[in-house]
Amino acid sequence: MTWRRVVAIARKEVRHITRDPRSLAMAIAIPMLLLLLFGYALTLDVDRVPLAVWDQSGTPASRELVSRFSASRYFDVIATVGDYAALEALTDRGDALAALVVPRDFDRRLGRPGGAAVQLLIDGSDSNTATIAMGYADSVVQGYSQEVAVGLTSRQGRVPPRRALDVRPRVWYNADLESRNYIVPGLIAVIMMVIAALLTSLTVAREWERGSMEQLISTPMTGPELVIGKLLPYFAVGMLDVALAVLVGEVLFDVPLRGSLFLLAASSAVFLAGALAIGMLISIVTRGQLLASQLAMVLTFLPSFLLSGFMYAVDNMPPVIRVITYLVPARHFVDVLKGIYLKGSGLESLAGELALLAGFGAVMLTLAVVRFRKVLA
């Protein structure tokens, strides 16, 4: 392989890029636009759950319970109603996600051995949000119940019993449990996978459609020289996209970067090489720009979005699907990014994932070169 010919191919590809500045601008603008849209719109945090209240008791004890919900940052009391029909109307319109019903005998039963009961109605059309809202409500009620029990024992002249178990949770790496802190790193992996494959999926196909591939075949150029030469300009564009995505995550989304910036750049380079090689292989096989772009989108976006662990935990997937996820490079890059961003992990902790990414990139590059040699033959 002669590096002079590699540089010549790279310069030729740079001319293609600069002759179409709109495509270059889109290659930079689309990742930033996707990152902004997903970063702001996609959140798993459930705050300010709209809550309707039917307080049939109307006593200080019931009002105190309702105030616990309204004082919590997880609930927003939007209406106080007087019957079930009004509650049903609010939930049917989507104005209320939850409804609290306090019975008439709430105050009388509160101090009795059996305790008092309240009803919490949840809109289960969104099961994830409903489950989280139920957990928040249980936490509010448990805190109120404990204070009532302590107050009753104190008024009776007894010493409140000590807890048999005192759990003091401490969250590491994402203390505020902000979903944005792990969504944004995952977004960088998914977006770069798609964009990188799309960038190179048109390169060789464009040469065939324009009729310039015959001229390249007639030169002493070899398969490795063509593949590497065409990858280099898009590798630079991809690294620029990564740098901008990291900057957006730091400035706009305030995502902490606790690890090494150099390790982040190095792992991004390894990942980009494999992603670009996928697009190159698709371009070589299809020979058509339209088919190449469509195939690149299908083979990169869906697996990266669904099987990378970006949105859905891999451990919760069926065993067969978990095995398939090892073939998705975005899964390993998502783990690397989360480790660097949130945990501050070093090379010793991420060596296995980086080795898999490097192996994937080597396989894709080899396949692209072998396939192009078959075309020359």
Is the same domain home to 149 and 199? Answer: no
For residue 162, tell me if it sits in a domain. no
Residue 275 lies inside a defined structural domain of this protein: yes
Could you tell me if residue 166 is inside a domain?
A: no
Residues 70 and 29 grouped into a single domain: no
Q: What is the pLDDT of residue 315?
A: 83
Both 132 and 268 in one domain: the answer is no
- Cα 5 from Cα 243, distance rounded (Å): 29
187: amino acid identity, one letter: L
Q: What pairing do the DSSP bridges indicate for beta strands 98-102 and 119-122? A: antiparallel
Report how far residue 340's alpha carbon sits from residue 346's, in angstroms, rounded to the nearest whole number. 7
- Residue 226: which residues within 8 A CB-CB, separation 6 or more? 9, 204, 216, 372
134's enclosing H/E stretch is helix 127-155
Residues 125 and 202 in one domain: no
Residue 320 has a pLDDT of: 92
- Residues 321 and 215 occupy one common structural domain: yes
Q: 343 near 258, Cβ under 8 Å?
A: yes
Which pTM was predicted? 0.78
Residue 219 lies in a domain: yes
Structure confidence at residue 180 (pLDDT): 81
**CATH number reported for the structural domain that contains residue 89 in this entry:** 3.40.1710.10
CB 230 within 8 A of CB 13: yes
- Do residues 196 and 234 touch, judged by C-beta distance below 8 A? yes
The reply to whether 129 and 199 lie within a common domain is no
Q: Which residue carries 């759950």 as its tokens?
A: 49
Distance CA(336)–CA(315), nearest Å, equals 17
pLDDT at 161: 60
- The token pair at 91 is 């939930």
**Residues spanned by the domain of 92:** 49-155
**pLDDT, one tens digit for every residue, the chain (377 residues):** 787 888 888 888 888 778 877 777 777 888 888 888 887 777 766 778 899 999 998 888 889 889 999 888 889 999 898 888 888 888 888 888 899 999 888 888 876 766 788 889 898 887 778 888 888 888 888 888 877 776 666 666 665 566 556 667 777 888 777 778 888 888 888 888 888 888 888 777 777 777 677 677 777 777 788 888 888 888 998 899 899 999 988 888 888 889 899 999 999 999 999 999 998 888 888 877 778 888 888 888 888 888 888 877 888 888 999 999 999 999 999 999 999 998 888 898 899 999 999 999 999 999 888 887 645 54
The answer on 224 and 150 residing in a single domain is no
pLDDT value for 214: 67
pLDDT at 356 (0 to 100): 93
Q: What confidence score (pLDDT) does residue 372 get?
A: 77
Asked if residue 160 belongs to a domain, the reply is: no
Q: Is 120 helix (H, G, I), strand (E, B) or coil?
A: strand
Q: Are residues 76 and 214 in the same domain?
A: no
Are residues 121 and 234 located together in one domain of the fold?
A: no
* Domain C-terminal end among 124, 155, 186: 155
Classify residue 266: in a domain, yes or no.
Answer: yes
Do 187 and 297 lie in a common domain?
Answer: yes
Give the burial string for 273-300 (b: 16+ CB within 10 Å, else e): bbbbbbbbbbbbbbbbbeebbebbeebb
Give tens-digit pLDDT for 152-201: 666 666 655 665 566 677 778 887 777 788 888 888 888 888 888 888 88
The per-residue pLDDT for 154 is 62
Q: Within this chain, do residues 191 and 229 fall inside the same structural domain, yes or no?
A: yes
Query: Cβ contacts of residue 83 below 8 Å, gap of 6+?
Result: 54
Structural domains counted in the chain: 2
Q: Which residue has the tokens 């945090």?
A: 45
- For residues 351 and 238, membership in a common domain is answered with yes
* Separation CA 189–CA 38 (nearest Å): 13
